[in-house]
Each structure stands twice: as structure tokens, then as C-alpha cells.
Amino acid sequence: MGTKQKTTKPKRGDYLKVIFEDQFAYIQYLGHHKKYGDVILVLDGGMKTTNQEQNETIPPSTGYVTFYPLSDAVSQGLAVVVVRGENAIEIPTVFRRPCNVDRKGNVLSWFIDENESTKIVEQLSLSERKIPIAGFINHEMLRFRITKNYTPEMRY
């Protein structure tokens, strides 16, 4: 199995490689949200194979925000810090979450939470579709979303 790698605790702004067997993707750690936990920016660029590691360049800091248990992933060797970063976007203060969902899983209305206030919206505007979804994803869901080039705008 080899020797265990020393894990480096991620700090705000750090870029990490999230490992999925023979593939990986890049994320940026944005910090810790008091209600939802670790916040990451899933960077555009999709999955890469381990063969692409030699020409490793981190994509620009564009992508989408989600909640992922990064501290646990790092301690389990599923993510590693590759570049110490200093610049990171601020953790968003507006999130959306499903309000009414039908039996097929279609969202009929959304809660939009902004700071301490919440409103219910039935039809999301184009700008509201870009609002991050407040919900946790695990390692396999992160892999699935990256593979499918998922963005929050796809769920409305």
C-alpha cells in the first residue's frame, strides 16, 4: 500500500486535488459556513486522468459553490492541497434549497435564504438559478457532478 502521505489541513484560498481512483479534479477551499460546513468552489475544467498530472495547471477560479466535507476528505486522503492560495471568493450569503418537491423529485418551489430572511419562489429567474444550492454532497456525488459538468443552473 505504501507510506501514508502527510495531510495538510486546508486553509481558506487553498487549491486542492480531489482524487477519484485514476481521475482527479480541482477545487478551491472557500472556508467554513457556520450552518452548512466546509464550502468549496468546484473549478471549471472537469475530470483529468492521472496521465495529465505532469502538465498540472490549475484552472481559473471559476465554477460553482457547494458544501462538501473537505476536512474529512483530506484526512482520508481523498483530497490533497496542491497550492497554498490566498485569494478566494467570499462565501456566498444567499443560498437556495428545495421547498416543495413532487413524487418524481422535481422541485416545485424554492426557499431563497439571504442572511436571516427567507422567501419562497415558485419560478426561479435566470439570476436565481445561479444561486448556490444549500445542501451537502458526498465524495461520490461530487464525482458524478464533475463528470456530468453539473452547475446549479441545471436544477431549477
Percent of the chain with pLDDT over 70: 89
Pick from 57-61, 98-102, 116-120: least confident: 57-61
**pLDDT of 1:** 42
Which 3-state string (H, E, C) describes the chain?
CCCCCCCCCCCCCCEEEEEECCEEEEEEEEEEECCCEEEEEEECCCCEEHHHHHHCCCCCCCEEEEECCHHHHHHCCCEEEEECCCCCCCCCCEEEEEEEECCCCCEEEEEEEECCEEEEECCCCCCHHHCCECCECCHHHHHHHHHCCCCHHHCC
Contact 155, 145 (CB under 8 A): no
- Could you tell me if residue 95 is inside a domain? yes
Share of the chain above pLDDT 90, in %: 59
Q: Quick one: average pLDDT of 87-95?
A: 90
Would 130 be classed as within a structural domain?
A: yes
**In this structure, is residue 64 part of a structural domain?**
yes
26 lies in a domain?
yes
Range of the domain at 138: 15-154
Q: What is the pLDDT at residue 52? A: 58
Let me know if residue 141 belongs to a domain: yes
Gap between the Cα atoms of 149 and 85, Å rounded: 24
- The mean per-residue pLDDT over the stretch 66-79 comes to 94
Residue 116 belongs to a domain: yes
- Is 65 among the domain residues? yes
For the chain, what is the mean pLDDT?
Answer: 87
**Is residue 16 within 8 Å of residue 1, measured between CB atoms?**
no
Q: Please state, in angstroms and rounded to a whole number, the distance separating the CA atoms of residues 140 and 102.
A: 25
Q: Is residue 8 part of a domain?
A: no
CB 121 within 8 A of CB 128: yes
Q: Specify whether the CB–CB gap between 53 and 80 falls below 8 A.
A: no
Number of domains in the chain: 1
The answer on pLDDT for 133 being more than 50 is yes
- Specify the pLDDT at position 16: 93
- 57 vs 26: CA distance, rounded Å: 10
pLDDT at 70: 96
Over 50: is that where the pLDDT of 58 sits?
yes
CB 100 within 8 A of CB 118: no
| Segment 129-153 mean pLDDT | 91
**Could you tell me the pTM of the whole model?**
0.84
